[in-house]
Amino acid sequence: MADDAELYIPVECALHSLYELAIIRSTACRLVWHSRGEEKRNGTVVPLDLLIRNKTEYLKVRTEDAELLEIRLDKIISFNPL
């Protein structure tokens, strides 16, 4: 992935726990994030898993259109469980 080369900034433990709880409960969430091209995106997603690749953490989500995305945790601007 192209954005793996950017320096990853770890997220706070409390925020990481919020992501884990949403995954366990299959809670739909309103998410705003920067895509790989730094385009600001937003949508309702269901968090599926947390992944670590090359010392970078990702949130795997399913969008309303059933698209599967892996979003770097440090690119998430806001995360609001519904």
Amino acid at 77: I
Whether the model pTM is above 0.85: yes
Domain map of the chain by residue range? 2-81
Predicted confidence at residue 41, as pLDDT, reads 95
Provide the edge-to-edge strand list for the sheet that holds 56-63.
Answer: 68-72, 56-63, 40-53, 29-34, 76-81
Instruction: State the average pLDDT over residues 42-51.
Output: 98
Tokens (6 digits) for 52:
């670590």
Predicted confidence at residue 1, as pLDDT, reads 44
Q: Which residue has the tokens 């884990």?
A: 20
Q: Indicate the fold that domain 2-81 takes in CATH.
A: SH3 type barrels. (2.30.30)
Predicted confidence at residue 36, as pLDDT, reads 82
Tokens (6 digits) for 67:
């698209």
Q: Which of 15, 18, 8 is nearest to 75 (CA)?
A: 8
When pLDDT is cut at 50, 70 and 90, the band that residue 13 belongs to is very high
CB 50 within 8 A of CB 71: no
Read off the pLDDT of residues 63-79 as tens digits, 9 standing for 90 and up.
999 999 999 999 999 99
Q: Kindly report the average pLDDT of the chain as a whole number.
A: 93
